[in-house]
Amino acid sequence: MILISWKEEARDMLKPPMERHGRQHTIMPTNVNYRANIWALKEEGCTHLVVTTACGSLREEIQPADIVIIDQFIDRTTRRHQTFYDGSSTSPAGVCHIPMADPFCNKTREVLIEVARNLGVKCHPKGTMLTIEGPHFSSRAESLMFRQWGADVLNMTTVPEVVLAREAGLCYASIAMATDYDCWKEHEETVCVDNVLKTMKENANKAASILLTAVPHISKMDWTETVKNMKTVVQCSVMLPKH
């Protein structure tokens, strides 16, 4: 994930990439401390969070090694903290009912889509990500059901990351890298870690090119109104306790 602060007075325009699962991939998706990661970025003054994520394709037209700039999600997780406003002694006051009709920052997404097209990278400009709990891959019955639900790709990390980023008022966008056809597609090799890693390596250069080109574009744009609107949405979504 790439962390961006677009303001001129910010200490860094581009911070180093972070590894959700740890540098040695020792943290399974359920145990990633999404809240700590997002809160730390907010405290650092970041305004944007642009991430990459490996995913399985649920559509014939989204081929392994394709890029998808996702715009919607379906949540199938069950064991994750999805809000900062949980009533604990250290949490912000109140309950946050954050709107999620448009969970990803469309202005940031448009930059990524334009950059991908200019670079000649095959890119699907929208798609619905279904996030499963993991760490096991989905069964064939589940994979077929997810297709019927209208999901286009699936992974294990978009939720709650996108929800928490919205609560934190960050402009969040995701570059999804298709690594396989999951297990719904007949006559295709069943998804496995080796094949996922192989395709991820092939995709890494594409994602890196998009990020390295997009970040300067983002930093030169005026985000004053967008950031202000994000913060206003959060403020209006918090119900404070009555005294």
Contacts of 88 (CB under 8 A, 6+ apart): none
pLDDT at res. 99: 98
In the set 86, 180, 194, 222, the catalytic residue is 180
222 is catalytic: no
User: What are the structural domain ranges in the chain?
Assistant: 45-238
pLDDT tens by residue, 118-156:
999 999 999 999 999 999 999 999 999 999 999 999 999
182 is catalytic: yes
Contacts of 219 (CB under 8 A, 6+ apart): 4, 6, 13, 14
In the set 66, 71, 152, 182, the catalytic residue is 182
pLDDT at 37 over 50: yes
pLDDT at res. 7: 40
> For tokens 């095959």, what's the residue?
122
pLDDT at res. 26: 82
Architecture of domain 45-238: 3-Layer(aba) Sandwich (3.40)
* Whole-angstrom distance, CA of residue 76 vs CA of residue 160: 10
pLDDT at res. 41: 93
